[in-house]
Structure 1
Amino acid sequence: MTEDFLFSEEPEEELEAVEHGTWKLIIVDDESEVHAVTKLALSDFKFQDKSLEFLSAYSGKEAKELIAKHPDVAIVLLDVVMETDDAGLKVAQFIREEAKNNHARIILRTGQPGQAPERQVIVNYDINDYKSKTELTAQKLFTVVMSSLRSYRDILSIEQSRQGLEKIIIASRDIFTAHSMENFIEGVIQQLTSIIGTVDEAMYATTLVASNPAENGNENKLVVFSGQGEFEESAGKLLEDVLTGEQLKACLQSLKDKSIVYRDDYLFAYCSSECNHNSMLYISGVPKNLTPSHKHLIEIFAQNVQVAYENIQLQSEVEDTQREIVYRLGEAVEQRSSETGNHVKRVAHIACKLASLYGMSEVESEILKHAAPLHDVGKIGIPDTIIHKPKGLDSDEWDLMKSHSENGHNILKDSKRSIIKAGAILARDHHEKWDGSGYPRGTKGEDIHIYGRIVALADVYDSLRHKRCYKEAWNLEQTVCEIKNQKGLHFEPKLVDLFISNIDTFENILLVNQDG
C-alpha cells in the first residue's frame, strides 16, 4: 500500500497543548506499515485537551486480548482480513457480545471491500463506521476519529447520567438508612458532572452540606450536616469553625447575597425553603469555564439537595417519634416496679450488640434494638400485687405471671410494622429456654426465634446484675458463673460464648446506662 494518501496537504487545526489524560485507540491490522502511518497521522491529535494513546494488535486473537485488558478503549480501528477473511468481523462480534462493551466506537477499515460489502457488514454487525483504506486521507482519518470520540464522550455522559439517576433512586428508596443523604448528594453531583461534560474525572474533590437547625436561633450559624473528602469528619461542627480564609469569605458572601458564589475551582450554593431557612452546598473541583446553562443546572441541583435534606429531616422526625413511643411504652411497663430504672434501654443495647456479634445484619440488629423495650409489654395486664411481691409466687400467681408472654404477643401480633412485629416475637419467646423447659409454649433450640434467644440472655444478664424487689444485685463473677451454668439449658451455647468473650463490652453498656 502507498503511504502518501495519509499525508495529503490539508490544513490542520491547532489544539491547546495542555495534557489531561488520553483517549485509548486500538489499531487492529496485520500490516505493520498501517500501524506506523496511522500513529504518525494522528500523532498531534487532541480532543478536549487529551491526546491519543495507541495500542497495537496484529491479529484477531491479539485484538481480543487487548480489548479484554482495556475495557475503557474509546476507538477500535479494525481491519477485516487478517489471519482469516472474517477475523475483523469476529473481533467486532467479540467486543459487543462477549466483552459486553457497547461504548467503544468500532471503525472498520478494509483494503478489500469486496471481502466485506459495506451494506452487509453495517446491517449484520454493530459497527459505527466503515472505511476503505484507500479513501482515508490524513484529514479524513482525523475527522472520523474526532466524530467517533465525540460519540464516545456523549455515550459516557449518558451512562454517567444514568448512574447518577440510579444513585438518586436508590437513595430515595433507602431514605430511612443512615447514609441516604450522602448517597443522594453523590448521585446529584454525579448527574450534574455528566451534564456539564466532565465525565472522565470526579466532579468534586469534596462536598459539604450545611444547614441551620431550628434550635440554633441564629440563621447565620450554619452546622455541617454531611461532608466528604476533607470535610468527612466535620459533621455537627459550626461551618465557621470548618472553613478558613477565602472559603469562609465566599461562604459568607453566598449567605449574605442568597446566591451561588463561584471561585476558581469551587462554589458555594445558597439554598432556602419554608422548612429550613438557610442551607449551603459546597462543591470543589468545578470546571473553570462554566456556561450560563451549566450554572443554571447547578442552581437547580442545589435546590434538589435542599429538598432531599428536608425530606430526610421530616422522615427522621417521624422515625424518632415512633422509637421514643416504643421506649416510653416499655419504660411505662417496667416502671411499675420501682427498681427497674433503665432496664429496657440496657436490654435494647445489649441485644443489639449480641445480634451484631451473632452475625445479624445492621438492619436486623437495629430492629431488634428498637423492639426490645416491648419484650415485657404483656405485664400491663399483671396485677401490681404480683409484680411487687417480694417473696416467691404460689402456683396460681406464677401461672398468671407467665401469661404476660402470650398477652404481649396478642397485643402486638397484628401490626404490619417491622419493629412492632419484632416486639410481638420477643414478647412471646423471651422466656423460652434452649432445652425446651421455658414458657409459654415450651419451644426449644433453633425453633425459638433468634430475637427471643438473644433477648432472653440480655434480659437475664441485666436482671442478675441489678437489684430487684425479690433479690439483691449479683456481682460480675456470680453472674458469669450462672450464665455459663445455663449454657445449653436456658441459653443457646453460641450466644453464651459470644457473651463471655465480650463481657467487657456488655459491662460498659451497664455503666453508661446506670439507674438514675
Structure 2
Amino acid sequence: MSDDFLFADDVEEETLPERASWKVLIVDDEPEIHAVTKLALNDFIFQDRDIEFISAHSGEDAKRVLREHNDIAVILLDVVMETDDAGLRVAKFIRDEINNYFTRIILRTGQPGQAPELDVILNYDINDYKSKTELTSQKLFTSVISALRSYRDIINLENSRRGLESILTASSNLFNLRTLDGFMNGLVQQLTSLIGGAAQEVSYISAPSASSGLDELADYVLYKGKCGDDKVSVNSVLNSVNDEQLQACRSALANKSVVIQDDFLVAYCHSNHQRGSLLLLTGLPRPLDDYDRNLIELFASNVQVAFEQVQLTSEVEANQKEILEQVSKALVCRLSGGRHIQRVTLLCELLAQKAGLSQDDIDVLSLAVRLHDIGSLVVPVNLLSKSGELAPEEMDLVRQHVSEDIAVIKDAEHPVIKTAAMLAREQYECWDGSGYPKSLKQEQIHIFSRILAIVDEYDSLRNEKCKPKYRPLPEVVQYFQSAKGSLFDPQLVDLLLSDIEHFEDIISKNPDSH
C-alpha cells in the first residue's frame, strides 16, 4: 500500500446571489419577545425575500432606527415601554414627524387596558392591533404576511406615481430643447433618472416611415458618455450596431415594442407623422424589469414627437438665419468695402466672450450687429462713402432714414431683429448719460449696446481708410483710457485694453478692400 495520501481536488464553493430582504423592526422592552418573534419567523419567505430583523428596546431607540432606515416594511410595536404610551408616541412620530405613510404598523400589547383597541384604531394611524396573549406563531405569520402585501402594493403605487411624474417632467424638458445636442443630452439625463443609472451609450435611430425595414433606417444619432461630455455624432445604422442589437432593433421595429436584453434595450418611438424611430441604450447599469419596461414605453411615446420638434425648430432657425445673412450681405456691400461689419462682428464676439456672456447671447449679438446698420440700406451711397464731415442737412437726412428704419423693425418678434433695433437705438448712448436719444446711463444701456459702442469706435479709429478719424494705436489706447467712465463702460474698456493684441489682430486680418 502506498504511503502517499490522495486528496480530492478542491471544489470552489458556488457563491449564491444575496437574497433581498424585508426589513421588520421589533420594538419591545422585553428581550424574550425579540427572541420569540425571530424564532417564530425564522424560515419566513415572501416573494423570494426573507426577513431582516432590526431590534429596538425603547420608544426613543425606535425613533433613532426609523430615522436611519427609510425602508422598514413592518414594525411590531409594543405600547408600554419606558412610559405607558411610548408605543403610541412612536406611531405618531412615524406618521406626523417623519411623514412615513408606507411602513405598516402592527401594535401589540400585553396590557390591552392601557391602550383600548377602539380608541387606538380611531386616534392613531396603525394597521393592526394584537394582544400578545392571542398572537400565536400562526397568527403572527398571518399578520406579517398581510402587512407585507399592503406595504408591497403601496410601494408599487408610489413607484408608479414617481415614474409617471418623471415621465411628465422628462417629456416637458425634452420639448423645451432646441438643438440636437441639447435633445440628446436631455435624453441621457432623463433616461438616467428613469432607469436609476446611466447607460454607456444612448442612440437614436430614425426611419422614413413606421413601416420601414431596418435597412431604411437612415439616421443614427449616437451620444456617448454618462456625463454629457461627448458630442452627438451621426453614423450609418448597419455599421454601428452588432448582430444581437440589429436583431433586437428589427424585433422592436416590427412589433412596435420594447426589447430588453441583459445589457441593452431597444424601444420603439411612436409618431403622429408616419415615422418610426428606435431608442437604443447599451451598457445598462442594472437588469431592467417589467416596471422599467412600462416607464420606458411611456417615455418613448413622447420622444419621437420631441425629436421632430427639435428638427423643425432647427430648420426654421436655419431659414431665418439664412434670411438674416442675406440682409447682412446687402449691408456689407455698401459699407467700408465690405469689411466694416465683418470686423465689428468679430470684435463684438471677442469682447462679449471676455465679458463672460453665454454662447447663446454671443450668437444673438453676432447676428444683430450685422443688422444694426440696416438704415444704411436707404441712405444714399454718396453719403455713406463721403470722406470728411457731413453737412448738417446731410446728417439730418441720415438720422431721418435710420429712425424710419428703426420704426419699421422695432416691433419685430424675432430676437435677432429686436436686438438689432435696440442696438440701432442705443449705440449713441453714453455711460455717463450724456448720449442720445434717451440719455440712458450705465446699466440702463444694454450690455450689447455698450459692447457695440466701444467696438464701433475702436474700428473707426483703427481703420486706415477712414482718414479723418484714424489714429495710431498708442493714441487709441490713450483715448479709451480718458473716455472710460464717461463715454464707455469702464469695465469693458479695461477688457479691451488688457488684450489689445487680439483686437489688433482682427483689424489687421480684415482690411477694407479699397
TM over 0.5: yes
CA distance in 2, matches of 1:328, 1:486: 36
Structure 2 residue aligned with 1:353? 353
Amino acid at match of 2:205: A
Q: Does residue 324 of structure 2 align to residue 311 of structure 1? A: no
User: Please, which of 197, 200, 203 is the counterpart of residue 208 of structure 1?
Assistant: 203
Structure 1 residue aligned with 2:429? 432
What do residues 150-204 of structure 1 show as CA deviations (whole Å, max 9, x unaligned)? Answer: 134313422332332332343155243763454356547866x6xxxxxxx4495
TM-score, length basis structure 1 = 0.74
* Unaligned stretches of 5+ residues in structure 1: 1-16, 194-200
3-state SS of 2:281 partner: strand
- Where in structure 2 are the equivalents of 1:324-363 lying within 5 Å? 324-337=322-335, 338-340=338-340, 342-343=342-343, 345-346=345-346, 349-350=349-350, 352-354=352-354, 357=356
CA distance in 1, matches of 2:322, 2:348: 13
Amino acid at match of 2:339: E
Report the more deviating stretch, 182-191 or 389-398.
182-191
CA distance in 1, matches of 2:494, 2:119: 71
Structure 1 residue aligned with 2:11? none
Offset at 1:74? 4.3
Offset at 1:282? 0.9
User: Please, which of 161, 170, 173 is the counterpart of residue 171 of structure 1?
Assistant: 173
Offset at 1:143? 0.5
The percent of aligned pairs where both chains have the same amino acid is 38
What do residues 73-93 of structure 1 show as CA deviations (whole Å, max 9, x unaligned)? Answer: 444444333333333333333
Structure 2 residue aligned with 1:443? 440
What do residues 80-107 of structure 1 show as CA deviations (whole Å, max 9, x unaligned)? Answer: 3333333333333333433344444444
TM-score, length basis structure 2 = 0.74
Structure 1 residue aligned with 2:390? 393
Report the more deviating stretch, 311-320 or 89-98.
89-98
Which structure has the bigger radius of gyration? 2
RMSD: 4.6
3-state SS of 2:280 partner: strand
User: Does structure 1 conserve the Cα–Cα contact (< 8 Å) formed by 2:109 and 2:131?
Assistant: yes
Distance 1:420 1:440, change over 3 A: same
3-state SS of 1:236 partner: strand
- Where in structure 2 are the equivalents of 1:123-272 lying within 5 Å? 123-134=122-133, 135=135, 137=137, 138-172=140-174, 174-176=176-178, 179-183=182-186, 187=190, 201-202=196-197, 206-211=201-206, 219-224=216-221, 226-227=223-224, 229=226, 233=230, 235-239=232-236, 243=240, 245-246=242-243, 249-250=246-247, 253=250, 262-269=260-267
CA distance in 2, matches of 1:287, 1:64: 33
CA distance in 2, matches of 1:93, 1:124: 10
User: Does structure 1 conserve the Cα–Cα contact (< 8 Å) formed by 2:163 and 2:295?
Assistant: no
How many residues are aligned here? 486
What do residues 270-298 of structure 1 show as CA deviations (whole Å, max 9, x unaligned)? Answer: 5586868663311343987866x987886
Amino acid at match of 1:304: N
Distance 1:258 1:366, change over 3 A: farther
Offset at 1:224? 1.4
Structure 1 residue aligned with 2:85? 86
Distance 1:103 1:296, change over 3 A: closer
* Unaligned stretches of 5+ residues in structure 2: 1-15, 210-214
User: Does structure 1 conserve the Cα–Cα contact (< 8 Å) formed by 2:269 and 2:300?
Assistant: yes
Offset at 1:234? 6.0
What do residues 359-398 of structure 1 show as CA deviations (whole Å, max 9, x unaligned)? Answer: xx77666655554444333434433222222323334434
CA distance in 2, matches of 1:506, 1:31: 83
Report the more deviating stretch, 459-468 or 79-88.
459-468
User: Does structure 1 conserve the Cα–Cα contact (< 8 Å) formed by 2:450 and 2:488?
Assistant: yes
3-state SS of 2:434 partner: coil
3-state SS of 2:278 partner: strand
User: Does structure 1 conserve the Cα–Cα contact (< 8 Å) formed by 2:200 and 2:224?
Assistant: no
